[in-house]
Amino acid sequence: MKIAIAGISNESCSFSPLLSGDDEFMLVRGQELLDRCSFLTDASGMDVIPLIWARATPGGTVKRVTYEAIKQEMLQGLTDAMPIDGLYLDMHGALFVEGLEDAEGDWLQAIREIVGTACVISASYDLHGNVSQPVVDQLNLLTAYRTAPHVDVEETRSRAGRLLLDALQTGKTTHIQYKRVPVVLPGEMTATTWEPGTSLYNQIPFIIDEYDLVDASILIGYAWADEPRTSASIITIGHDESKTKEAVCYLASEYWNARHQFQFGAPADTIHACIEKAITASHKPVFISDSGDNITGGGVGDLTCMLKALLDAKVRKTLHVAIVDREAVTACISAGIDANITLTIGGKLDTIHGNPLTIQAVVKKIMAVEPNNYHVVVQVAGVTLILTEKRTAFTTLDQFNTLGLMLKDFDIVAIKLGYLFPELAEIAGTELLALSPGVIDQDLTTLDYQRITRPIYPLDPNMTWTPDHD
């Protein structure tokens, strides 16, 4: 038997003024792609053909020309590899492409036209993916992360691979059921490390047992994309069609019934209130998430409102992570270590929410962390500030260690994230969520939705719904 591997993975914020082009995408092909999928190559004894896997940091709308080039390369590889028995797709599920509605639906329909109806297609998704009926119509198998923050990425990819191999080796057909749940909520309210996310996701293995399923997924969806499919959804897969339908309705109603219980995982307040609390907090370091400019959610990353507020409050021993500004980084590199330099930073990419800020900075560290992405550490009064050339999410301790920064040395760490990733949460003495402005505004009622399917909670807070109605 022969199987192929492909995928495109991006979380695209349609409210962002940025466009993601060729420079933003990392392309993986050949042996490197096979190595990423050892769960398929190690044990299966099948002929495995690597096509292309494309991934970009969460950002704005993907340029049509970039998407089409990746798609065409994938389709050409697929055509050359035919006939194939199975296909594994490594996806995210929140791809938004210029001039396209439901980009994953477009991607999958083009694939199905080539591989035919007999080929088994299995996809792994981020639980922040927005699924649609056209997507499910082309897929045989879909499984999504069961943790947010995501600590089961590899486990999920392996599970999608195992589902594919089981289907091919046993020849048993499965039914896939999809149920859109008309709820759209921020990831910062729906993590699985606190309730009701914990209990909802902990049910999954029991539901699989109880309804004799092959797999089940709860997808929260991605709020900052204005498309009809933007919403939560449930997927169940099983051999028995009626049990699979019962299970999808059960999980959909569980999610719907929990909608009022979702809440932020850390005390949420204005930027100024968070800084006041941080100054007087007894458990340090205090992490303040600059949530409106959260890069892992697609934020632009060059807003200066948090930095300005920190400087106005005359904070000490504070780290601000990180403002993207290529010009400022270039100026710091030219000036050199220990130079005292005047910089006007930020507010260049997001001109709606952003204001450039002029600062007097001393250059402390210059580091090339990857091609075209120097990071610079500067000291601005009591604030140690990281500047980056490319939009960079800081989620691991290694990224700080590389720059010679020890988070425990700071009283306040203001960071362009939403919820904290596990290594950072472990260091944090106190966590606060600043409801800052930006394209990832946590108050979804402020977003100018035009295309999302209505009614949907919480935009239509009094709506009624049951899973049986669809």
Binding site for Zn ion (CB under 5 A): 126, 128
Tokens linked to 108: 């999958």
Which residue number, 102 or 126, has a Cβ lying nearer to Zn ion? 126
Which residue number, 184 or 331, has a Cβ lying nearer to Zn ion? 184
Q: How far is the CB of 425 from Zn ion (least distance, A)?
A: 16
Q: How far is the CB of 396 from Zn ion (least distance, A)?
A: 16
Distance from C-alpha of 126 to C-alpha of 150, rounded to nearest angstrom: 8
Which residue number, 297 or 467, has a Cβ lying nearer to Zn ion? 297
Distance from C-alpha of 225 to C-alpha of 94, rounded to nearest angstrom: 8
Rg of the chain (C-alpha set): 23
Beta strands in 247-316 (DSSP E): 268-269, 286-290
Number of other CB atoms surrounding residue 118 within 10 Å: 9
Q: At which residue do the structure tokens 């792609």 appear?
A: 33
Q: Which residue is nearest to Zn ion (CB)?
A: 128
Tokens linked to 137: 């119509």
Q: At which residue do the structure tokens 């056209």 appear?
A: 134
Q: What angle do CA 420, 426, 429 make, to 5 degrees?
A: 90
Which residue number, 191 or 377, has a Cβ lying nearer to Zn ion? 191
Which residue number, 126 or 302, has a Cβ lying nearer to Zn ion? 126
Q: How far is the CB of 222 from Zn ion (least distance, A)?
A: 8
Q: How far is the CB of 320 from Zn ion (least distance, A)?
A: 24
C-alpha dihedral sign at 180, 182, 297, 146: negative
Q: How far is the CB of 231 from Zn ion (least distance, A)?
A: 15
Q: How far is the CB of 261 from Zn ion (least distance, A)?
A: 20
Q: How far is the CB of 465 from Zn ion (least distance, A)?
A: 25
Which residue number, 128 or 175, has a Cβ lying nearer to Zn ion? 128
Q: At which residue do the structure tokens 């990733």 appear?
A: 421
C-alpha dihedral sign at 321, 327, 332, 333: positive
Which residue number, 128 or 259, has a Cβ lying nearer to Zn ion? 128
Distance from C-alpha of 273 to C-alpha of 279, rounded to nearest angstrom: 10
Residue in 302, 284, 181 with CA at minimum distance from that of residue 230: 181
